[in-house]
Amino acid sequence: MRWTLWIAFAVLCILSGTSWAIPYGATDALPPLEQQALLFGGIGLIALLFAGRGAWSRMTGRRFAKLAAAAVGFFGIPAVVVEYARGSVPAISRSALFAMVPVVVVLAVVAGHATGGEERSARQALVPALAGLGGLLLLLPVQFSGPLRGWVMLSLVCAAVILTGLASVWLYRLLRGIGLAAAVAVVGTANAVFLLICSSVREDVVWRWSGLASAVSISSFVDVIEVLLIVWLLQGMQPVRFAARYLVIPLLTVLESYVLMRPEWTVRMGFGTALLAAGAGALLFSKAGEEETMLSLR
């Protein structure tokens, strides 16, 4: 894998893992889904300016529709589900559930491989994916009990986790041969339209300039960088390896909390951290990640 992708992956994980330290603006002025819709809309419009006519030469109508659907499945639908589940499923529990994405990706790759050697390589990644998930579950005080609505929301989050994993594999295939500007334009506009529709259904859409201007902040700028890096990495990074970010980001957050809060170490904390680090490292540096694969997930 190119060293530029390694740098992009590291920057993405650091930004996401330290997001708690980034100052947020007046986020109450806009509904969360509308704020995300404006973010993706701005990204899509800017990308359209940089994407020349030649960038759309390989973009047939059918491929455009598939790419838009996969992009919404990866970004938009999980964002809507997480927003609806807020208050019913704690943030820690949601983080633990999204750590299952590497497992989903590995299973999807195994199902989509055409050759036996590639399938065996992908199967080998299942163990570190499960180990990383187990390590995170040992570290986080996960709570899944609650009323009926809580269990319904929990089921929706699990469905969003599965969709995220499948969509990432699908995007890896669909983004091959498409320029980055064109890819970002499709991803941005598709998610902007979807999130704006969902926001208008759930809550009133704010059209006041003062409210719209509140979307411009340091945190929004960081979010833009993260989206651009994610699209680039989805295009150039093998799906199983890229899915390791769902383990690397919690690992960075855990290590930061150890440094800042200095808790008393226990056997459970040490074993969980070791499992999480080993699982993430094995997914990132496995030889299976070096193989170029053409996935048949459709």
- Give the integer Cα–Cα distance in Å for 139 and 161: 20
Kindly state whether residue 1 falls inside one of the protein's structural domains.
no
Q: What is the mean pLDDT of residues 190-196?
A: 95
Which amino acid is present at 49?
Answer: L
Q: Which two tokens stand for residue 10?
A: 């590291």
- Mean confidence (pLDDT) of the chain: 84
Q: Which two tokens stand for residue 262?
A: 């200095």
Element (H, E) at 35: helix 32-50
Residue 227 CB-half CA count within 13 A: 30
Q: Which two tokens stand for residue 50?
A: 């940089």
Least confident stretch, 207-221, 223-237, 252-266: 207-221
Domain count, the chain: 1
- Give the integer Cα–Cα distance in Å for 188 and 227: 9
Kindly state whether residue 256 falls inside one of the protein's structural domains.
yes
With a cut of 90, say whether residue 227 has pLDDT above it: yes
**Structural domain range at position 260:** 29-207+216-289
Ranges of H-type helices in the chain: 3-17, 32-50, 61-71, 77-85, 91-98, 101-112, 116-124, 126-139, 148-174, 180-202, 209-213, 218-236, 239-242, 245-261, 267-285
Kindly state whether residue 295 falls inside one of the protein's structural domains.
no
The segment with the largest mean pLDDT, out of 5-9, 62-66, 149-153, 173-177, is 5-9
At residue 128, the pLDDT reads 94
- Give the integer Cα–Cα distance in Å for 3 and 80: 34
Place 293 in a pLDDT band, splitting at 50, 70 and 90.
very low
Kindly state whether residue 22 falls inside one of the protein's structural domains.
no
Q: What is the mean pLDDT of residues 251-268?
A: 86
| CA 115 from centre of chain | 28
Kindly state whether residue 4 falls inside one of the protein's structural domains.
no
At residue 70, the pLDDT reads 97
Kindly state whether residue 7 falls inside one of the protein's structural domains.
no
Q: Which two tokens stand for residue 117?
A: 């050697």
Instruction: Scan for tokens 């790419």, then name that residue.
Output: 67
At residue 185, the pLDDT reads 94
Q: How many residues does the chain have?
A: 298
- Give the integer Cα–Cα distance in Å for 157 and 153: 6
Query: Mapping DSSP to helix (H, G, I), strand (E, B) and coil, where does residue 52 land?
Result: coil
Kindly state whether residue 12 falls inside one of the protein's structural domains.
no
Q: Which two tokens stand for residue 22?
A: 């980034």
